[in-house]
Amino acid sequence: AQSVTQLDSQVPVFEEAPVELRCNYSSSVSVYLFWYVQYPNQGLQLLLKYLSGSTLVKGINGFEAEFNKSQTSFHLRKPSVHISDTAEYFCAVSETTSGTYKYIFGTGTRLKVLA
Amino acid sequence: NAGVTQTPKFQVLKTGQSMTLQCAQDMNHNSMYWYRQDPGMGLRLIYYSASEGTTDKGEVPNGYNVSRLNKREFSLRLESAAPSQTSVYFCASTSLGDRRPQHFGDGTRLSIL
């Protein structure tokens, strides 16, 4: 079964600084990867997804992520963060078992943008 | 566009009480999921329904039951609530295919006293 590791539980960063949120997954023949964002008291919203093709994926709100098959990583980056980016970020991978689709989530990284 | 709607948004129960969490989606999605979110543990799958008429256990099914009432609705029932079930519960849906991202409701915040 797949597993997803987000090593950083909290990441503080100053406004307008760059940020990288790390995500590693267990290897698989084929893998589909997602990053979600959760603002306080809300559900999860899709930031971006990797299905196939270019390893650099661009998402909403200026975020991007790079799929690295050899390192089994899918790190999320933003060159310049805003206060409004303060939220919790989840990496997820989908897997297929007997024709049923399930999603495995990491434990989340809380991004705190400081003024 | 409503997307995924969960009711209620907040609930406080006493130990041993029962309740049903409701979830409805208006996107004609085949698959629906129930997760619980606890601090430091991410989202853990309780039950899922790959399609109308089918349900399966996820990672943490004990103490819960589900019903896929029709294609739109997927409910989660706590028969005898326990303090360990205090959590935020999220419903999600997706169309068929593991390349599809999930759509989430805003959650139900449940406290068991």
H or E, element range at B24: strand B19-25
Instruction: Kindly report the backbone phi and psi dihedral angles of residue B85, in degrees, each rounded to the nearest multiple of 5, phi listed first.
Output: -90, 5
Q: How far is CA A98 from the centre of its chain?
A: 26
Interchain contact B94–A (C-beta under 8 A): yes
**Residue B8, preceding peptide bond in cis (omega within 30° of 0):** yes
Over residues B104-113, mean pLDDT: 95
Q: Is the CB of B106 less than 8 angstroms away from the CB of A42?
A: yes
Percentage of chain B beyond pLDDT 90 is 80
Chain A residue with minimum CA distance to B59? A104
Do the beta carbons of residue A42 and residue A87 sit within 8 Å? no
The mean pLDDT value of chain B amounts to 93
Per-position pLDDT tens, chain A of length 115? 778 999 999 999 999 999 999 999 986 667 789 999 999 888 999 999 998 888 899 999 999 999 998 899 999 999 999 999 999 999 999 877 666 677 889 999 999 999 9
d(Cα A81, Cα A17) in Å, to the nearest integer? Answer: 6
Percentage of chain A beyond pLDDT 70 is 94
Residue B28: Cβ-neighbour burial (10 angstroms; 0-12, 13-18, 19+): exposed
What pLDDT is attached to residue B97?
66
Q: Is the CB of B107 less than 8 angstroms away from the CB of A42?
A: yes
Q: Which of B4, B40, B97 sits opposite A101 (nearest CB)?
A: B97
pLDDT tens digits, one per residue of B63-76 = 999 999 899 999 99
DSSP-derived pairing of the beta strands A44-50 and A32-38: antiparallel
The residue assigned the tokens 């600084």 is: A17
What pLDDT is attached to residue A94?
86
pLDDT band at B1 (very low <50, low <70, confident <90, very high): low
For residue B6, which amino acid is it? Q
Interchain contact B58–A (C-beta under 8 A): yes
Q: Is the CB of A105 less than 8 angstroms away from the CB of B43?
A: yes
